[in-house]
Amino acid sequence: MSANTILYVEDNAVNRRLVRDLLQHTTYKLIEADDGEAGIAMALEMHPNLILMDIQLPKMSGLEAIRRLRANPVTAATPIVAITSFALSGDDQKAKDAGATAYLAKPYSPRDLLAQIRKLAPEALDR
């Protein structure tokens, strides 16, 4: 079994590096996209095991991207973690309504993020 692939859609390069560093010592393989459209294209091409989707994205919002991914049979069942900006403000509900599997409020703890990733896409042990 090949390593689990995780797609992180996020426009902020520093945050992308954060997750890259976080996953460096794991068996996960990280692929990145910096806007909603690119994220959808990459998801359809690479079939990631899990998608981390920032909600505030240029061109197409993360919510819209999640809706489109859910509408496509290829990605309809892929777990998606929405990364929302405003804790407790109803963004979590919007993310769930759009079809997100789970959500994480920003700023997120890398520890929590990794736990969430491991829960939704258990790490392959036989690499």
Partner 1 sequence: MMAAQTLRVSRFGLLTNAGALLSVLMCYGEIAVIAALSLAGIAVANIDPHLQAALMVGFALLAVFGLAVDYRHHRNYAPMVFGATGFAVMAGTLYVSFDPRAEFIAYACLITAVFMNQHAALKLLTDQLRRRSDEIAERNKQLEAASQHKSDFLASMSHELRTPLNAILGFNEMILDQLYGPLTPEVRSPLEQIQRSGRHLLRLINNVLDLAKIEAGRMELALSDYSVQDTVESVRATLRPIAAEKGLELRTSLPADIPVARGDAGRISQCLLNLAGNSLKFTKAGQVEIGVQLVDDRLVYRVTDTGIGIAPDKIGGLFAEFNQTDPTIASEYGGTGLGLSITKKFIEMHGGRIWVESEPGRGSVFIFEIPVRA
User: What is the binding site for partner 1 (CB under 8 A)?
Assistant: 12, 14-15, 18, 21-22, 24-25, 56, 85-90, 93, 106-111
Residue number with CB closer to partner 1 (68 or 94): 94
Residue number with CB closer to partner 1 (77 or 88): 88
Nearest approach, Cβ of residue 57 and partner 1 (Å): 13
Query: Per the structure block, which two tokens stand in for 45?
Result: 């091409």
Counting Cβ atoms within 10 Å, is residue 13 exposed (0-12), middle (13-18) or buried (19+)? exposed
Nearest approach, Cβ of residue 78 and partner 1 (Å): 24
Residue number with CB closer to partner 1 (24 or 125): 24
| Upstream peptide bond of 107 is cis (omega within 30 degrees of 0) | yes
Supply φ then ψ for residue 61, to 5 degrees: -65, 160
